Amino acid sequence: MTSLLPSHTLQGRGRLATFAALAVALTALDLRTAVTGLPPLLETIGADLGFGLALAGLLGTVPAATFAVFGFLAPVLTRRYGLERTAAAALGLSATALVLRAIAPTPLTLVASTVLALAGIGAANVVIVPLIKAWFAERVAAWTSGYLLLLQTGQFVAPLLAVPVAQATSWRLSLGIWAVPAAVAAVIWLTLALRLPADHRAVASGPGAQRRPVRSSTAWGLVGLFAAVSVANYSIITWVPSVLTDAGASATRGGSMLALYSAWGVLAALVVPQLATRMRNPFPVVVICSALLVLGYTGLALSPVDGTVLWMCALGIGVSTFPLCLTLVNLRTRTPQSASTVSGFVQGIGYGLACLGPIGLGLVREATGSWTAPLVVLSTSAVVGVLAGWFACRPVLVEDTGSASP
């Protein structure tokens, strides 16, 4: 059997691996900055370029949709050009588009450059998972934790710096500074690609090596688990502040509770990948997280103001199946190329469904006049996550599962 672990897989040692580590860190740091660094500046940008709430709402729906489309396309590129070249191209596109967004003269240019920037990030979302498997196969849990921690850091830091930097300089510089880490990461990945042997994209042979994820119940379990947590996360971020303000809380309270919810992502990034690698079957983690999600939704429906801190902590821990799912993509695949294919399959469908969650819940809220029905729907999605998680967590590789799907 020809291994898809290429000759550059140095198990975390050597000069090339050091540069790969830096590239992974910079890539992870930049995976959410283009998303979260924009909303705090939308009012300022809108006043400057002349657009209102409608375009601002459109920009809010772009990330998940773009991540879905380019999640599917990324594995096609990796099969032809390799992981490092694809990462270099994706981050180069993102860096260029971020510069274009910073100098955008019109609303149309702003939207187009945002789509291009997120297209590159969507591909990088997928590629970084198998890159960790390829370069640091013996320390998948540690590197997955580090990558997710840096992702969360970028997600926090970008909105915190957005307004102060814009006030000190301009909104254009505030948006454009995030092109720097993307550009540096692109250069490093391209340099590594040029230094690697010509055969580093060798395709594995052997039983199940070329099995498509659509034929694997494990892959479909990962899809269901990722979709459930993505719908939950985007719906919570979009609508929980409105749930609280409709119940009489202040807008400041809504924002602080959303920050509390997001803070749990840092702890999850440190703990969950370690648990996943130490447990033969981490299904209990899925059950506990889903139960906490249901607890949080129920609390928001029955007593949104009095127990808000408890409910938001429950929801924050409940979405810990996100790092679990990304860790399982590597643990349930045999090779980096298979991990790339499964990563694109899982994230493409998962982010696609995540687009529908906030929109659908908003329509249910409008139809019923209360948040009870939307919260019941979210509770149902947590149950779906449990069912999918049973298939995803079984100690069975995607390449070894049959054609049955859950």
- Mean pLDDT per block of 10 residues along the chain (406 residues) reads 40 73 93 83 84 67 80 84 92 96 92 92 91 88 89 83 88 94 95 73 43 84 94 84 84 76 85 90 96 96 91 94 91 86 88 82 86 93 94 90 50
What's the CA gap between 342 and 332, in Å, rounded?
9
Q: What is the model's pLDDT at position 61?
A: 67
Residue range 88-131, pLDDT digits in tens: 999 999 999 999 999 999 999 998 999 999 999 999 988 998 99
Distance CA 240, CA 378 (A): 12
Q: What's the pLDDT at 7?
A: 40
**Chosen CATH of 15-195 out of 2.60.120.10, 1.10.10.10, 2.60.120.380, 1.20.1250.20:** 1.20.1250.20
Burial class (CB in 10 A: 0-12, 13-18, 19+), 12: middle
Closest residue by Cα to residue 44 from 98, 110, 99, 121: 110
Listed in order, the ranges of the chain carrying CATH 1.20.1250.20 are 15-195, 213-400
Return the HEC string of 172-200. HHHHHCCHHHHHHHHHHHHHHHHHCCCCC
Element (H, E) at 218: helix 217-246
* Residue that is written with structure tokens 């694809």 in the block: 86
* Contact status, residue 374 vs residue 361, Cβ threshold 8 Å: yes
Scanning the structure block, which residue is given the tokens 């390799």?
82
- Topology adopted by domain 213-400: Growth Hormone; Chain: A; (1.20.1250)
Q: What's the rounded Cα separation, in Å, for the pair 253 and 264?
A: 17
pLDDT at 178: 94
Nearest to 330 by CA among 2, 5, 77, 1: 5
What is the model's pTM? 0.78
Q: What are phi and psi of 228, to 5 degrees?
A: -65, -45
pLDDT at 100: 96
